[in-house]
Chain A
Amino acid sequence: MAYSDKVIDHYSNPRNVGTLDKSKASVGTGLVGAPECGDVMRLQIEVDENQIITDAKFKTFGCGSAIASSSLATEWLKGKSVDEALAIDNMAIVEELALPPVKIHCSVLAEDAIKSAINDYRVKNGLPALELAKTHH
């Protein structure tokens, strides 16, 4: 299978790889997927007092498309408000990275990771977790 240039670029030069201090109240962590499925994404956001995402980091165990999807997600998250981040749709990732149908689940996982990180941040700060629309796997 041929990978798109953008997938190759994110795979070769992943953006925002790393770890934020998950004990901080301003940091939300999303850990989605499972090792036995061959995909695990950890996506973290740091949110300031104005609900703006000032930093985002990821680590991913998975194929090139999974790595690229999460790398792209961190790029998109930085500078966005939490509400704007919630609106990121997996199909936008599919389109940007030109993912083939068999790799759509990688983008779904990235969307799940974003929402999971936001919920972690909300719960830590006394807000109720959002009921997230069920995504398809």
Chain B
Amino acid sequence: MPYMTNMFGNAASRNHAFGWQAEEAVDYARDQIAALINCSPKEIIFTSGATESDNLAIKGVFEMYASKGNHIITATTEHKAVLDTCKHIEKIGGKVTYLQVNAEGLIDLNELENAITDKTILISIMYANNEVGVIQPIREISAIAKKHGILFFTDGTQAVGKIPVDVEADGIDLMAFSAHKMYGPKGVGALYVRRKNPRVKVTAQMDGGGHERGMRSGTLNVPGIVGLGKAAELAKQDMESDNARISAMRDRLERELTTIEESYVNGSREHRLPHVSNISFKYVEGEGLMMGVKDLAVSSGSACTSASLEPSYVLKALGLSDDLAHSSLRFGLSRFTKDEEIDYAINHVKEAVAKLRELSPLWEMFKEGIDLTTIEWSEH
């Protein structure tokens, strides 16, 4: 907080004491973050958040390594910050392969390897998915990338600070993450850029004063960075004990909620973040269900609020039918979640599902044994 109220120095102003103080604070944060992901502090580039980091990594590699090739491999379940950046790459002459995932949400390593061409310069696969929490086989992916001399970038937004991430052991060349996903402030994040074995460079996407080793110009967000550093330190310290508790609560929540008839857990249960659960309650629409449990922090794969009416592209990529995707809820737990809150969630979701099924013509048809796929639904 003092960096917002009475310590006004600019971390890039090296010729006066106010600047030194700010620089010292930023350097301290860099150390805290480096300790969390096992890298050198010099390998951390501060940004405004994971979206900017995703953009900087993909566009920056595409430009920097243009002489080597123009092909990028990613997956259909990536965050929009990656997918939309890849679409941009395609517009400016790049080629992108979008790998499918299986029903568990995992990419196929053979497909990955088969997609590699002599023009491939980057593999961009997220560490863990934001909607279903599925963790990709990061070490196997990086081994393939290394074997073919291709850089490996991972969007680590959901994983960093939540599960152990070690850029050395995991073989990661670039990694995006943000502070607010690990209980830190919003509007600040970072991009890890490997400095040796190999030395990776990205072309800056913002021109200016050459901050952050020339890769990201712009005055540093000192209060945000201090917050990110502290969040990283706390995450490192508490992760293990937090996760044991959080995953036990998540498992209990899931066990109870799947006693509801016609409910299904989406995505791999084995390769998954400890705090995420994504469940479909068939014949109940997700947004309607959210309204019934509005004091719970849940989200739905039914994007009825968007004009498109398209349900979650992630759940569809896992092979869920549109109607099951519309019936999904994503539960996110945190270190602040209490057992009583899990009890509350279990009771309220059960009640709301039962109530909405009483209202649901689809549930009535299902109970009468009518096959919903045989009905001619009106165009809509």
Q: Which residues on A are within 8 Å of B, measured CB to CB?
A: 1, 3, 11, 14, 17, 19, 31-42, 59-64, 66-67, 102, 105, 109, 112, 116, 137
Contacts and interface: CB of A to CB of B under 8 A. Distances in A.
A34 B372 CA distance: 10
A1 B291 CA distance: 10
B326 interface: yes
B288 interface: yes
Interface in B267-326: 283-288, 291-292, 302, 304-307, 309, 311, 321-323, 326
Contacts of B372: 35
A39 B378 CA distance: 11
Interface string B361-380: 11110000000100101111
Interface of B: 283-288, 291-292, 302, 304-307, 309, 311, 321-323, 326, 358-364, 372, 375, 377-380
Contacts of A34: 377-380
A119 B379 CA distance: 17
30 contacts: A17-B359, A31-B361, A31-B378, A33-B377, A33-B380, A34-B380, A35-B322, A35-B323, A37-B380, A38-B286, A38-B287, A38-B311, A38-B326, A39-B285, A39-B309, A39-B380, A40-B360, A40-B361, A40-B362, A61-B283, A61-B285, A61-B360, A63-B304, A64-B291, A67-B288, A67-B359, A102-B305, A105-B309, A105-B380, A137-B380
B358 A35 contact: no
Contacts of B283: 61
Contacts of A32: 378, 380
B364 A36 contact: no
A107 B302 CA distance: 18
B361 A41 contact: yes
Nearest to A101: B307
Contacts of A3: 291
Contacts of B380: 32-34, 37, 39, 105, 109, 137
Contact of A60 (B286, B321, B323, B361): B361
Contact of B307 (A39, A40, A102): A102
A109 B307 CA distance: 15
Given A11-B291, A59-B360, A40 B377 contact: yes
Contacts of B359: 14, 17, 59-61, 67
Given A61-B284, A62-B287, 12 more contacts: A14-B359, A31-B375, A33-B377, A35-B326, A36-B323, A37-B326, A38-B311, A39-B309, A63-B302, A102-B305, A105-B309, A137-B380
A38 B377 contact: no
Contacts of A39: 285, 304, 309, 380
